[in-house]
Amino acid sequence: MIYSLRGELVHRDMLGAAVECAGVAYYCRASLSTISQLGAVGSKTTLYTYMHIRSESLELFGFADQAELNCFKMLISVTGVGPKVGLSILSVISPERFALCVASGDHKCLTAAPGVGTKLAQRIVLELKDKVAKGGMMTDFVGGAAAPVSSKAGGTGEAMSALLVLGYTPAEAGAAIGKLDPALSVEELIKGSLKLLAKGG
């Protein structure tokens, strides 16, 4: 399995980009968000990857950061959601915004993506919220101790739920959120936590 690609950007188009590593160029399908973050052709770049294997084909997908990769993995785990729909959603919604929409039950924001109707958007939100809940991961960390998330947790609780939607463990999410100012908005808490988690805590 290819974890990431780091090398020279040799090609990019509206569907993806090719990165040359040790003389071999790998083409990755990517979201418009990731493509817009790439530098000019000839520059050095890094893409986190996901290999999608089907009976008749093998495709490599590239992402600007691990948060987008995690979000993509969660999306394609939903019934009826394939890579094309996953990239469509990530092309119009950031990972933190997506996680917040799922955590808050707001399916309407997902319908902004081409190919995503109301029924599919509702299924995505319901299935991912259900996975998090069934996993027993609805926890908050206060002072290093685990406690149930309640409405009193405010933005911290919503941010925790959003990070769990993205596939982080309660320990990882709680440790990151605990380093931030709880007075920050939910989206700021999510963004700040993702930056900390990307740096390894």
Predicted local confidence at residue 154, as pLDDT? 62
- Interatomic CA distance for residues 132 and 126, integer angstroms: 10
Q: Give the whole-angstrom CA distance, residue 197 versus residue 15.
A: 28
Which pLDDT value is given to residue 134?
60
pLDDT for residue 32 is more than 90: yes
Q: Which CATH superfamily is domain 66-134 in?
A: 5' to 3' exonuclease, C-terminal subdomain (1.10.150.20)
Q: Mean pLDDT, the chain, as a whole number?
A: 85
Res 135: pLDDT: 53
Average pLDDT value for residue range 9-38: 96
Which tens digits make up the pLDDT trace of 160-187?
888 888 888 888 888 999 999 888 888 8
SS3 for the chain is: CCCEEEEEEEEECCCEEEEEECCEEEEEECCHHHHHHCCCCCCEEEEEEEEEECCCCEEEEEECCHHHHHHHHHHHCCCCCCHHHHHHHHHHCCHHHHHHHHHHCCCHHHHHCCCCCHHHHHHHHHHHHHHHHHCCCCEEEECCEEEECCHHHHHHHHHHHHHHHCCCCHHHHHHHHCCCCCCCCHHHHHHHHHHHHHCCC
124-154 pLDDT, tens digit each: 999 988 777 665 444 333 333 333 333 335 6
Q: What are the residue ranges spanned by the domains of the chain? A: 4-63, 66-134, 139-195
pLDDT for the residue 136? 45
Instruction: Write down the residue that tokens 């007075």 correspond to.
Output: 183
Given pLDDT bands bounded at 50, 70 and 90, which one contains residue 73?
Answer: very high
**Residue 6 to residue 45: CA distance in whole angstroms:** 6
Q: Which CATH architecture has domain 4-63?
A: Beta Barrel (2.40)
